[in-house]
């Protein structure tokens, strides 16, 4: 074994970083039967929850693109709102919440006045607020479509969290509504704006791995059923599915941007969860995907195994390992060539925004201003959803399912 090409130190990935992935930030005993008995499915209507953590105020700055954030849950409060502080173009302009007290506290933290707070019911009044350019929907998955369509009706652009919807029909309705309104629809696939993921794509496209042959993607975490944000995730009417919809989707999306190709066939296997807290969604699922080029993918996701977010791509010249691959911070990419290992850390990149959340928030105004294409479009989200549905069908029927509906890839 020769020396490493670069002397960059290996970054330590804390358990905390891993656990933050997919926002399922907790370890809990799933064997707590009292808890299992007390678990009840959340209502399939809009609710509000109290404000959990204090957040630092935003600095002053001239940023021209105003966002209204819809849903003040964990991801919005802990990742997205603080990220505005590092934005060049995006500005926090309004909050939409089912809990006015929580919204008032958040508004105070971010120097917003009371007029900037909307409820889920009076949300449509944003049509009268010209300072709101876009709406960012960070609600449970089943609520994405209606808020997207309402936002388009109000003449706003839309950023919507992944998965964009729970059904293919809803996803298509969202895309159509954007086209009718002549407004942009962007999906919050933050990894497209993460420097390490971008670097991995560039290395692969430059042919450094040779021909990509086998890709492995694993996204797992332990769902904490004491956390309210776990409850809608295990209720199919709100989530559309279990670990695959929530965190496996990172592997589905990444297999498309890493291989730059769409699968033509999928196979899958799942086992019924033993824990009654799982409601009507899967805990663990594994899948195989076959590509016209001959590349193959095997992927997995789980809600009951220790936190992992790992991609591995094997080419006929070199291998690439990303571990963690989709963390909020501290992602790591390693290139394994014949007998040496190159370690990259975020420090080695010259991309100005290392914060993927701020880069994502800025991407929409930048694309609009430059009339440039959006990287993570509604069509990207729809394609992922179609592949996910094919994987569910393959798992249910125990037969391969064709995904060869006219291969395309944005590149
Ligand atoms: P969360 O449960 O913490 O927040 C959901 C918010 O929606 C809460 O404020 C809740 O009060 C509100 N809400 C309104 N109606 C509700 C209802 N009927 N049931 C439950 N909550 C309701 O969830 P989260 O982790 O913030 O996830 C929200 C969205 O963000 C999801 O689509 C999720 O997939 C996505 N997400 C994306 C990432 C990422 O890295 N891109 C990370 C975490 C979550």
Cα of 139 vs centre of ligand 1, distance in Å, is 4
* pLDDT bucket at 49, cuts 50 / 70 / 90: low
Q: Does pLDDT of 61 surpass 70?
A: no
| pLDDT above 90 (res 1) | no
- Dist. CA 195 → ligand 1 center (Å): 25
Average pLDDT over residues 143-152: 98
Shortest-distance atom of ligand 1 to CA 141: 32
Residue ranges lining ligand 1, Cβ < 6 Å: 22-23, 42-43, 45-49, 71-76, 98, 138-141, 161-162, 188, 190, 228-229, 232, 238, 246
Residue 86, SS3 per DSSP? helix
Residue 344 has pLDDT above 80, yes or no: no
Residue 343 and residue 321 in contact, taking contact as beta carbons nearer than 8 Å: no
**Encoded tokens for 16:** 């905390």
Lowest mean per-residue pLDDT among 55-59, 102-106, 205-209, 238-242:
55-59
- Give the pLDDT band of residue 14 (cuts 50, 70, 90): very low
Beta strand 401-402 with 265-270 is antiparallel
Confidence at residue 330, expressed as pLDDT on a 0 to 100 scale: 80
Q: What is the C-alpha separation between 254 and 376, in angstroms, rounded?
A: 12
DSSP secondary structure of 209-273? T-SEEEEEEEEEEE--TTSHHHHGGG-HHHHSSSHIIIIIHHHHHHHHHHHTS--SEEEEEE---
Question: Once rounded to an integer, what is the mean pLDDT over residues 344-366?
Answer: 71
Band of residue 410 on the pLDDT scale cut at 50, 70, 90: very low
pLDDT band with cut points at 50, 70 and 90 for residue 337? confident
Q: Which of 18, 20, 22, 23 to mutate to test the pocket of ligand 1 (most atoms within 8 A of CB)?
A: 23
Indicate if 131 belongs to the active site: no
Atom 4 in ligand 1: residue holding the nearest Cα: 73
Contacts 24+ apart (CB under 8 A), 154-158: 154/124, 154/126, 154/127, 155/127, 155/181, 155/183, 156/68, 156/126, 156/132, 156/183, 157/133, 157/183, 157/184, 157/185, 157/186, 157/364, 157/368, 158/134, 158/183, 158/184, 158/185, 158/186
Distance 24 CA to ligand 1 centre (A): 11
Residue nearest to atom 13 of ligand 1 (CA): 47
| Mean pLDDT value across the chain | 85
Closest residue (by CA) to atom 35 of ligand 1? 161
Atom of ligand 1 nearest to the CA of 97: 9
State which ligand 1 atom lies nearest to the alpha carbon of 188.
41
Query: Which of 147-151, 168-172, 204-208 shows the lowest per-residue confidence on average (mean pLDDT)?
Result: 204-208
d(CA 161, CA 149) in angstroms, rounded, equals 14
The Å distance, Cα 319 to ligand 1 centre, comes to 35
Return the ligand 1 atom nearest residue 45 CA.
Answer: 18
Least confident of 78-87, 128-137, 325-334, 372-381: 325-334
Instruction: Say if residues 287 and 201 touch (Cβ distance below 8 Å).
Output: no
What is the chain's length? 411
Atom of ligand 1 nearest to the CA of 245: 34
Catalytic residue among 102, 162, 183, 236: 162
For 156-165, 210-219, 351-360, which range has the lowest pLDDT when averaged over its residues?
A: 351-360
pLDDT of 170 above 60: yes
Distance 382 CA to ligand 1 centre (A): 19
Report the percentage of the chain scoring pLDDT > 70. 80
Per-residue pLDDT at 101 exceeds 60: yes
Tokens (6 digits) for 288: 């195989």
- DSSP conformational letter for 377: B
In the structure, what pLDDT confidence band is assigned to residue 260 with cuts at 50, 70 and 90? very high
**Cα-to-centroid distance, 72 and ligand 1 (Å):** 8
Flag the least confident range among 32-36, 67-71, 193-197, 243-247. Answer: 32-36
Report pLDDT for 92: 96
What is the tens place of the pLDDT at every residue in 359-379? Answer: 999 999 999 999 999 999 999
| Ligand 1 centroid – CA 402 distance (Å) | 32
Catalytic residue chosen out of the listed positions 51, 67, 75, 250: 250
Which of 24, 73, 355 for mutating ligand 1's site (highest number of atoms within 8 Å of CB)?
Answer: 73
Residue 162 among the catalytic residues: yes
Give whole-number Cα distances, 310 to 185, 186, 319, 334, in Å: 28, 25, 13, 12
* Chain position carrying tokens 């505005």: 84
Protein residue whose Cα sits closest to atom 30 of ligand 1: 138
């Amino acid at each position: 074994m020769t020396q490493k090409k670069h002397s960059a130190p290996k970054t330590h990935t804390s358990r905390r970083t891993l656990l933050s992935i997919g926002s399922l930030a907790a370890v809990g005993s799933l064997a707590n039967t009292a808890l299992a008995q007390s678990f009840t499915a959340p209502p399939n209507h809009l609710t509000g929850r109290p404000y959990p953590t204090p957040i630092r105020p935003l600095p002053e700055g001239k940023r021209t693109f105003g966002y209204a954030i819809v849903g003040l849950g964990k991801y919005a409060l802990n990742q997205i709102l603080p990220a505005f502080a590092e934005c060049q173009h995006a500005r926090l302009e309004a909050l939409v919440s089912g809990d006015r007290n929580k919204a008032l506290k958040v508004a105070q933290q971010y120097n917003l006045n009371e007029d900037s707070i909307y409820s889920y019911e009076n949300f449509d009044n944003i049509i009268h607020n010209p300072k709101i350019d876009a709406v960012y929907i960070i609600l449970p998955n089943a609520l994405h479509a209606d808020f997207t369509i309402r936002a388009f009706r109000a003449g706003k652009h839309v950023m919507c969290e992944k998965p964009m919807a729970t059904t293919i029909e809803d996803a298509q309705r969202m895309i159509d509504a954007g086209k009718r309104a002549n407004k942009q629809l962007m999906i919050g696939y933050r990894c497209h704006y993460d420097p390490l993921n971008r670097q991995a794509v560039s290395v692969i496209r430059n042919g450094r791995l040779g021909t990509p042959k086998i890709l492995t993607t694993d996204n797992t975490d332990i769902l904490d059923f004491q956390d309210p944000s776990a409850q809608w995730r295990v209720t199919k009417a709100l989530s559309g599915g279990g670990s695959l919809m929530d965190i496996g989707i990172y592997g589905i999306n990444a297999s498309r941007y890493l291989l730059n190709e769409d699968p033509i066939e999928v196979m899958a296997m799942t086992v019924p969860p033993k824990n009654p807290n799982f409601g009507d969604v899967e805990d663990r699922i594994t899948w195989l995907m076959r590509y016209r080029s001959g590349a193959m993918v095997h992927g997995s996701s789980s809600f009951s195994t220790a936190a992992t977010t790992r991609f591995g791509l094997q080419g006929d010249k070199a291998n690439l390992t990303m571990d963690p691959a989709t963390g909020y911070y501290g992602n790591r990419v390693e290139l394994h060539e014949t007998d040496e290992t190159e370690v990259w850390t975020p420090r080695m990149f010259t991309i100005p925004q290392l914060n993927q959340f701020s880069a994502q928030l800025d991407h929409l105004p930048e694309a609009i201003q430059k009339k440039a294409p959006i990287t993570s479009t509604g069509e990207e989200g729809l394609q992922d959803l179609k592949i996910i549905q094919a994987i569910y069908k393959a798992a249910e029927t125990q037969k391969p399912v064709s995904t060869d509906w006219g291969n395309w890839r944005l590149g």
